[in-house]
A = this chain, B = another copy of it.
Amino acid sequence: MSSLPNNLKQIAFFLQRLPGIGEKTANRLAFYFLRIPQDDLEEFAQNVQELKEKTKMCKICLNLTEEEICAVCDNDNREKTTITVVEDVLDLLSFETGNIYTGVYHVLHGKIDPLNHVGPEDIHVKELLRRLENESKVKEVILATNLDMEGEATAMYIKNRIHDVHEKTKKSFKVTRLAYGLPMGANLEYADYMTLKRAIEGRNEY
């Protein structure tokens, strides 16, 4: 890249910092910027500059929003009795795309991951506990962290901390976890044995 114009080089360097983008891809993408109309480039540049200033965390659930309260929490049709706890906003979006869920959320913005030095105090668990202590309407907390090791550890940690809230406030809301089992369209031949084990353990009357 040594002989290239500086702007192009700098754009490629920046793109290399994004996850999953290596040197070759970054170069290819940077060149592609040259083909995009100047107006669109200017608009993009402005969005990038203002991004942090205009993006806030919802005061209730920590979802990302432009206002004080996010669109989900601000929607009177959402059931405030059920809170689904997710690791990040992309997980929240997965629930939202399907229109499969009518409750509200709490976004942790991370998961407990000791190998990467992320402890319980580094993610937003205490905001969840404070919310559970102060809100009276909550009937159920659904732990929807991912099903990998860190997600499991995070769910387990939160479950224990919610137990403390139960003891302290004498509130009796439920704590649930997403169901384990075979995904839709699964082929048993290719299922891993842990998933199969969970699918047998969790079998339902038919």
Contacts and interface: CB of A to CB of B under 8 A. Distances in A.
A110 to B, nearest CB: 11
A176 interface: no
Nearest to A3: B71
Contacts of A65: 3, 5
A153 interface: no
Of the listed residues A8, A66, A70, the one surrounded by the most CB atoms of chain B closer than 10 A to its CB is A8
A31 interface: yes
Given A41-B51, A51-B8, A70 B14 contact: no
Contact of A93 (B27, B41, B48): B27
B6 A66 contact: yes
A40 B4 CA distance: 20
B48 A48 contact: yes
Contact of A3 (B14, B38, B46, B96): B96
Closest 3 CB pairs of A and B: A45-B45, A3-B71, A45-B48
